[in-house]
């Protein structure tokens, strides 16, 4: 681990250009260069499925990732498929093909969120165990009422705060928990925020929105100075579009500009 790791996003994009189709299935792919204990370089492919339906072409797509990377870079690869849907159906873990005496069988690692033991996750000191718990809670939110969801989310927050994580990790995980599991009513969110503030103090629970807005504002200032963009508000809008998942309506509200102005800049960024 002291040698660190490197994300090979450019290499992956060369083989699989990102799709701009809003209606296409959502995949999150990462190719990571790591070093084994014997000092040898290895590559890890992480493929996350963010979709709630059965995809019969998934094993073939996993195999395509493998052979294209291997063909171009000739590197040893291990692949992980992480399934984030809430179904309990069997999920594909291999690609097989056979024809006239020639056959191939490609197997890859799989990780299904719904199958993970909550007891093991709660007892784990791995920060990402809390992420998985948050995702499981989000999946449960479709089947429980808001009161039960509130207690579940608050319990997760308390567990997180008991862990011996750094302040930055706690803040990042708390914000993930806060914004990944959403309440239907705004007053429930306000109640949750107050509970968290009473547990940790306001300085520890700076919301992700406040953090991103502060960062986007700073980036907006830099863009305005370096590139001569016509106004600070335009710089602010650009930074928020690039750095957050806020809707155009929310960005217009935060920056004090019209929705049409935000949509115009958004369209310009998409065409670049």
pLDDT in tens, 65-91: 888 888 888 888 888 888 887 777 778
Evaluate if residue 10 carries a pLDDT over 70.
yes
Q: Give mean pLDDT, residues 1-12.
A: 80
103 band by pLDDT with thresholds 50, 70 and 90: very high
Q: Give mean pLDDT, residues 158-187.
A: 76
Give the lowest-confidence range in 95-99, 114-118, 145-149.
145-149
3-state percent breakdown (helix, strand, coil) of the chain, nearest 5: 55, 15, 30
Q: Name, in order, each residue with C-beta under 8 angstroms of 48's C-beta and a sequence gap of 6 or more.
A: 27, 28, 29, 81, 82, 84
Q: Please tell me the predicted confidence (pLDDT) of residue 30.
A: 80
Q: Which of 44-48, 103-107, 157-161 ranks highest by mean pLDDT?
A: 103-107
Q: Please tell me the predicted confidence (pLDDT) of residue 83.
A: 84
How far apart (Å, rounded) are the C-alpha atoms in residues 102 and 117?
A: 40
SS3 at position 141: coil
38, exposed or middle or buried, with CB in 10 Å at 0-12, 13-18, 19+? exposed
SS3 at position 3: coil
Q: What angle do CA 176, 177, 181 make, to 5 degrees?
A: 110
Q: Please tell me the predicted confidence (pLDDT) of residue 97.
A: 94
Q: Please tell me the predicted confidence (pLDDT) of residue 101.
A: 95
How far apart (Å, rounded) are the C-alpha atoms in residues 168 and 99?
A: 54
How far apart (Å, rounded) are the C-alpha atoms in residues 30 and 48?
A: 9
SS3 at position 205: coil
How far apart (Å, rounded) are the C-alpha atoms in residues 59 and 213?
A: 40
Give the lowest-confidence range in 167-171, 183-187, 204-208.
204-208
Evaluate if residue 107 carries a pLDDT over 90.
yes
Evaluate if residue 199 carries a pLDDT over 80.
no
Evaluate if residue 12 carries a pLDDT over 70.
yes
- Report residue 77: phi and psi, to 5°: -130, 140
**Comparing C-alpha atoms, which of 138, 134, 132 is closest to residue 182?**
138
Give the lowest-confidence range in 22-36, 109-123, 210-224, 253-267.
210-224
């Amino acid at each position: 681990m002291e040698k660190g790791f490197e994300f090979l996003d450019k290499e992956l994009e060369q083989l699989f250009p990102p799709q701009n189709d809003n209606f296409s299935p959502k995949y999150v792919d990462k190719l990571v260069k790591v070093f084994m204990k014997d000092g040898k370089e290895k590559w890890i492919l992480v493929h996350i499925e963010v979709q709630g339906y059965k995809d019969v072409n998934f094993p073939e797509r996993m195999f395509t990732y493998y052979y294209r990377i291997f063909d171009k870079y000739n590197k040893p690869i291990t692949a992980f498929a992480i399934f984030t849907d809430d179904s309990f159906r069997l999920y594909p873990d291999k690609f097989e093909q056979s024809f006239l005496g020639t056959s191939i069988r490609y197997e890859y690692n799989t990780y299904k969120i719904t199958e993970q033991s909550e007891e093991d996750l709660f007892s784990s000191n791995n920060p990402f165990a809390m992420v998985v718990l948050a995702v499981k809670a989000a999946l449960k939110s479709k089947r429980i009422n808001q009161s039960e969801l509130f207690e579940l989310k608050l319990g997760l927050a308390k567990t997180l705060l008991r862990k011996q994580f750094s302040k930055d990790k706690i803040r990042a995980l708390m914000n993930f928990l806060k914004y990944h599991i959403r309440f239907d009513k705004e007053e429930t969110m306000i109640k949750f925020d107050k509970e968290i503030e009473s547990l940790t103090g306001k300085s520890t629970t700076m919301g992700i929105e406040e953090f991103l807005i502060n960062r986007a504002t700073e980036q907006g200032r830099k863009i305005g100075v370096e590139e001569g963009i016509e106004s600070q508000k335009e710089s602010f809008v650009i930074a928020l579009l690039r750095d957050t998942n806020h809707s155009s309506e929310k960005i217009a509200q935060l920056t004090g500009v019209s929705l049409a102005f935000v949509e115009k800049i958004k369209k310009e960024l998409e065409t670049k």
